[in-house]
Amino acid sequence: MFDQILQFLITGLTTGAIYALVALGFTIIYNASDVVNFAQGEFVMMGAMSTVFLAAGDNGLPTPLAATLSVVLVICVGIFLQRFAIAPARGASVVTTIIITIGASIFLRGLALVVWGKDIHGMTPFSGETPIHIGQATLLPQNIWVMGGTAVMVLAVHYFFHYTMQGKAILACSYNRDAASLMGINVGLMMMVAYGLSALLGAMAGILVAPISFTSYDAGVMLGLKGFSAAILGGMGNPMGAVVGGLLLGLIESLSAGLISSGYKDAIGFIILLLVLFIRPSGLMGKRSSDRV
């Protein structure tokens, strides 16, 4: 029984780590611009798909180079999204921006469909496929890559926002845009940095997980949805909340699939999320909102 639970935990943490990265992407954009970016899942898909295609064939690039180029490409997509879809609609209502990002996600999916086709693609694992045994439980080197990669990126994001000028400037924009602007912060530039960073996290998540779960042009939809759920579970706007929310959601799904019912595991995840919101309307670690009159 213990081995079984251990296996569930390993699976849950791996999936959860990916949710956490996607959720963190949501949080950064939300903090910078008050927008919930429903195209976050598409960043994940594009990171994986473009790596697959850059590394494909006999003349393909080596995977690390392909991955780096893909991340740069996705960052550009993120900046484009901010510049040409979000910035022009400044001052639009929350639902309007939601529809814009949904439109963007449909557009990017359609673009991927046209450019890369409809096939499902695999990616070679970074360090082989020999399972590592812990008692009866096993994990793949790629699981360690996913969990380790997520940990490194979470720490890097933390460092960026708390110890660099740029990071602090983005935080300043999120607290008070006008004041930040008066302090000489280039708000427009900071917005682009935030979107680029968020795209980077998404692309990295996609590249890390593709060797385990494969990828296709429509792989971003579910991950985007789960990432959003994780961000809400942890409390929208709190980066650590997003990470906790992601890991927790992954664990809940895995444990309920293992111990209750695999058919209803997603439903159980959402029921728990709803219950959390009923008790804590701002998520686990979110700030209690006070209404402005």
Q: Where in 130-149 is the site for another protein (CB under 8 A)?
A: 131, 133, 138, 140
Binding status of residue 129 toward another protein by CB under 8 A: yes
Site string for another protein, 163-202 (x = CB under 8 A): ----------------------------------------
Site string for another protein, 7-46 (x = CB under 8 A): xx-xxx-xx--x-----------x-----x----------
Kind plus residue range of the DSSP H or E element containing 139: strand 137-139
Shortest reach from residue 272's CB to another protein, in Å: 10
C-alpha to C-alpha distances, 256 to 197, 222, 269, 282, 292, nearest whole angstrom: 33, 18, 8, 24, 40
Shortest reach from residue 276's CB to another protein, in Å: 10
> 42 or 185: whose CB is closer to another protein?
42
| DSSP structure class, residue 131 | P
Amino acid at 7: Q
Distance, in Å, from the CA atom of 174 to the CA atom of 51, rounded to the nearest integer, reads 33
Applying CB under 8 A, among 46, 77, 85, 244 the residue interacting with another protein is 85
Owner of token pair 């460092």: 159
Binding status of residue 58 toward another protein by CB under 8 A: no
Count CA within 13 A, CB hemisphere, residue 273. 25
Phi, psi of 149 (to 5 degrees): -60, -40
> 165 or 293: whose CB is closer to another protein?
293
Applying CB under 8 A, among 118, 178, 182, 184 the residue interacting with another protein is 118
C-alpha to C-alpha distances, 65 to 62, 71, 239, 268, nearest whole angstrom: 6, 10, 29, 40
Question: Are 247 and 9 in contact, with CB atoms under 8 Å apart?
Answer: no
Q: Where in 245-284 is the site for another protein (CB under 8 A)?
A: 254, 257-258, 262-267, 270-271, 273-274, 277-278, 281-283
**What six digits make up the tokens of 237?**
């706007």
Applying CB under 8 A, among 104, 204, 249, 285 the residue interacting with another protein is 104
Question: Are 10 and 143 in contact, with CB atoms under 8 Å apart?
Answer: yes
Total residues at the site for another protein (CB under 8 A)?
Answer: 81
Distance, in Å, from the CA atom of 226 to the CA atom of 192, rounded to the nearest integer, reads 24
Applying CB under 8 A, among 102, 171, 172, 240 the residue interacting with another protein is 102
Applying CB under 8 A, among 89, 134, 179, 183 the residue interacting with another protein is 89
